[in-house]
Structure 1
Amino acid sequence: MKVFDIEFYRGDKASLVKELTDASQNDYSYIVTPNVNHIVQLEHNKELRRAYSHASLRICDSKILLPVLNRLKANVAEAIPGSTLTESLVEVANREGWTITVIGCEDDVVATLRQMYPNIVFNHHNPPMGFIDNPVEVERCVSFIVQHPARLIFFSVGCPRQEALALRVYESEQAVGVGLCVGASLNFLSGKIQRAPEWMQHLSLEWLHRICMEPKRLVKRYVVDAYKVFPIIVRQFKNRQSIFMGRAQQ
């Protein structure tokens, strides 16, 4: 059942890792990781909605969003943060000796990952700021991915740029592997940005930790998102109530 016009993945992390491991051997597909910020952006960003529509899976990234989804009968087994999923997949890749392509991230992040995971071949291309509005730079990213086949492609350039690029690679019909829109996940994995301690993750307070780490960038975003997402959630509950009342009257 769709919620926020999104068909969310319903399985657990172990099942997801298995599915993505299998899919990584095939023609290119990509996943997106909806959170509160994405729900807000999807209201007005047609290109992001188009990227979502072509994604093979839509994984709930937010423990705050999860109870809302399940009150709306989405039946999502668990929230799977992109950082957690990224770490699990990189561990599989290191064990199996895979190749991974990274789009975005600074050179020092990828250098650290090469040291941490010596069995992985990392291909890395970091496009310039504003690249998504430059067709030449977008095609340079697509060509790099096509010319460097990998089991996993990590798009680390932020939403909605990474989703738009993942869609463009899909439309090229030339790539292989699984693309993952992972934002800052590789920065967390490398240790460049400290992730919230486990007790904060368990209490769904990772957002608070991130605000403390990057207040200038994130305070405004989180406050605005909270303000904007509330009426969207209310509308979803009203729509769902209308559907159930209509069925009851039939």
Structure 2
Amino acid sequence: MTARNLCYFNGVEIDDIPIECLIQKIQSKAFPPFSFIVTPNIDHFYRLDVHENAGFINAYKNATLRVCDSRITQKLSILEKSPIKNVVPGSDLTRMLLASEWARINRILLVGASHEEAETIREKYKLSNFQHYSPPMGFIKCEHEILKCIELIKSANADITFLAVGSPQQEILADRVHKSLTGNINSGSVMLCIGASFDFLSGKIIRAPLFVQKLHMEWLFRALSDPKRLVPRYWKNFTWILTYISKKALSKTNKH
């Protein structure tokens, strides 16, 4: 791998890489076997700060790359020593990979999402070598189910594996796969933790219009679409943002 352009946001190492360059690296197999990429957003930073889940924290430490998923994070990063230049939304990354000619001729594995969503994606992007497995709800609490996923990912011999089982489950699973296979195998797919990307791409969930995304208001569009589930989450994220800004302002005041 070439030298990495690193930034830090709230103490978390971020790979500041354009989405096109990341896609090229994935398609050219520039990563070691069973590397995994996480796409941090404000909700992830909140959970990392409150130490909500030890497995999630370890996964972030062990991830091969951490790319900025959030335009809000990018704007807030002006308070850091090295502001983040590139935003890599997980949904855009997934869509661009699937829409490429590369995806139509290479092996793809999707872990998560429903059978109906998987079939919609297969047909929409004309994927000829596409495997899908949907683990049961709560699988991350069952060692047997985790080992079943690990064995499936190992045996699939895919060129790319999309983990769409929600956070923090997907990051924890990626870390378990990475740990179990590192040093024991010479080839393997890169794993992408992409959350609800397949929900958007299959049409199950409508993504905010592009102008809303550019206004950094996609979170509001999503919150209004599922207020019972998302409003409490976004409220916690909002209070975390205020705390983050306050800490940065206090730090600068103390330096002067």
TM-score (norm 1): 0.90
CA drift at 1:78: 2.1
Q: Does 1:7 align with 2:13?
A: yes
Alignment of 1:84-103 (within 5 A): 84-92=92-100, 96-103=104-111
Q: Give the number of equivalent residue pairs.
A: 244
Against the structure 1 CA distance between its residues 240 and 138, is the aligned structure 2 distance closer, same or farther, given a 3 Å change threshold? farther
Distance across 2 between alignment mates of 1:239 and 1:179: 37
- Residue of 71, 75, 87 corresponding to 1:67: 75
* 1:162 alignment partner in structure 2: 170
Q: Is the 2:91–2:197 contact (alpha carbons within 8 Å) kept by the matching residues of 1?
A: yes
- Residue of 140, 144, 148 corresponding to 1:136: 144
- Residue of 68, 86, 89 corresponding to 1:81: 89
Q: Does 1:19 align with 2:25?
A: yes
Point out the more displaced range, 174-183 or 100-109.
174-183
* 2:73 partner amino acid: L
* 1:122 alignment partner in structure 2: 130
Point out the more displaced range, 90-99 or 120-129.
90-99
Distance across 1 between alignment mates of 2:153 and 2:218: 32
Give 5+ residue unaligned stretches, structure 2: 1-6
Point out the more displaced range, 222-231 or 165-174.
222-231
Against the structure 1 CA distance between its residues 162 and 236, is the aligned structure 2 distance closer, same or farther, given a 3 Å change threshold? farther
* 2:4 alignment partner in structure 1: none
* 1:51 partner amino acid: A
Distance across 2 between alignment mates of 1:237 and 1:168: 38
Point out the more displaced range, 68-77 or 230-239.
230-239
Give 5+ residue unaligned stretches, structure 1: none
* 1:40 alignment partner in structure 2: 46
CA drift at 1:131: 0.6
Q: Is the 1:24–1:151 contact (alpha carbons within 8 Å) kept by the matching residues of 2?
A: no
Distance across 2 between alignment mates of 1:58 and 1:25: 13
Distance across 2 between alignment mates of 1:19 and 1:235: 36
Point out the more displaced range, 149-158 or 232-241.
232-241
Against the structure 1 CA distance between its residues 12 and 220, is the aligned structure 2 distance closer, same or farther, given a 3 Å change threshold? same
